[in-house]
Amino acid sequence: MSRKSEKSRTTLLVLGTEPRPRLGRLTGRVRIAYADESTLAERLPSADVLLVWDFTSHAVRHAWPGEAPRPRWVHTASAGVDHLMCPELAASDTVVTNARGIFDQPIAEYVAALVLAMAKDLPRTWELQREREWRHRESQRVAGTRACVVGSGPIGRAIQRTLKALGVTTALVGRTSRAGVHGPEDLDRLMARADWVVCAAPLTPDTYGMFDARRFGTMQPSARFLNVGRGQLVVEDALAEALRKRWIAGAALDVFADEPLGPDSPLWEVPGLIVSPHMSGDTVGWRDELGAQFVELYEAWEAGEPLRNVVDKERGYVPGH
């Protein structure tokens, strides 16, 4: 009881103005304050808990107090934590948690949708339909092809499961080699024989720009590259060049170094490139799931129970198996 009443003075600061379903459950149990990018720095020192609901914002990085009072816990409604991590937050005793689990299956389905769409030449089918032109083509079988999925967290593993269910032989590459997961030393070899290279890695100093001209050069001319991780994992100019020079047969980007992609970006018209607006994980009800997940974590935190989804702040993700 004493713990509860102590916690009842908790201040929860929410960054972001998008709809926040399910948070109503916390009404009366916690003082809820709101911030946007301009007010975050001012309000952060008085918050016990920070909920980063607007996961597109980089404001936390800029506003994080050095030595001043700061939240004891930061939760982000996203799988990646790259948008909020900074040396001061990493060095502090503040706990960071993420939305691990919410996006796994949706993103895996999205990757399967893109793989199948490319194999079956659906983009060309839409183009021909616009032109009212009946043009039969041969398409490709997906079963029996090979994928290399980079990123061995829950999202990468869900992608592996889904592609395997479609008969695709799928290798997983993680930060270190372990049972069922290849280490980075195998990446070039696996990329060279893959029909599909799928990037679902967290963005960290180690992974920044890892898909560059050299790596695209190792791929087969018939292979395709997909990114559902973070934009900065890919050297976008190098990918555009690889597509223009037909080093590879196609690519799909759902994430970009600068989001939203502006109308002047040359990426919209790179031949063989499918551009989608960072939506791979966002299926109907996703905000409800994110809200419910935070409430569940909050209740554990309030009860003094250990938190799930705790991010290793040095590595930049939740360490798994």
* 61 in catalytic set: no
Beta pairing, strands 49-52 & 11-15 = parallel
- Span from 6-14, 40-48, 178-186, 283-291 in contact with its own copies (CB under 8 A): 283-291
In whole angstroms, the minimum distance from the beta carbon of 277 to its own copies comes to 5
* 278 in catalytic set: yes
What is the rounded distance in angstroms from the CA atom of residue 37 to the CA atom of residue 54? Answer: 10
Q: Does residue 284 touch its own copies according to CB under 8 A?
A: yes
Q: Which amino acid is at 243?
A: L
Q: Does residue 135 touch its own copies according to CB under 8 A?
A: yes
CA-angle at 204, arms to 190 and 101, nearest 5°: 80
From first CA to last CA, the distance across the chain in angstroms is: 37
Catalytic residue, chosen from 224, 230, 236, 289, is 230
Q: Does residue 133 touch its own copies according to CB under 8 A?
A: yes
Catalytic residue, chosen from 259, 296, 299, 314, is 259
DSSP string, 298-312: HHHHHTTPPPSSB-B
Beta bridge partners of 181: 178
Q: Does residue 128 touch its own copies according to CB under 8 A?
A: yes
Tokens, residue 258: 């600068």
Among 27, 67, 93, 143, binds its own copies (CB under 8 A): 143
The nearer residue to its own copies, 93 or 133, going by C-beta atoms, is: 133
Site for its own copies in 250-279 (CB under 8 A): 259-263, 265, 268-269, 274-279
Site for its own copies in 98-127 (CB under 8 A): 105-106, 109-110, 112-114, 116-117, 119-120, 122-123, 125-126
What is the rounded distance in angstroms from the CA atom of residue 204 to the CA atom of residue 225? Answer: 20
The nearer residue to its own copies, 213 or 279, going by C-beta atoms, is: 279
* 136 in catalytic set: no
What is the rounded distance in angstroms from the CA atom of residue 91 to the CA atom of residue 64? Answer: 12
In whole angstroms, the minimum distance from the beta carbon of 316 to its own copies comes to 24
Catalytic residue, chosen from 29, 31, 193, 278, is 278
Count residues binding its own copies (CB under 8 A). Answer: 50
The nearer residue to its own copies, 39 or 105, going by C-beta atoms, is: 105
DSSP string, 30-74: BEEEEE-TTTHHHHGGG-SEEEE--TT--HHHHH--SSS---SEE
Residue 2: strand, helix, or coil: helix
Site for its own copies in 165-204 (CB under 8 A): 165-166
Question: Contacts from 3-8 at CB under 8 Å and sequence distance 24+?
Answer: 3/303, 3/304, 4/302, 7/302
Q: Which residues of the chain form contacts with its own copies (CB under 8 A)?
A: 105-106, 109-110, 112-114, 116-117, 119-120, 122-123, 125-126, 128-129, 132-143, 162, 165-166, 259-263, 265, 268-269, 274-279, 282-284, 286
Task: Report the catalytic residues.
Answer: 230, 259, 278
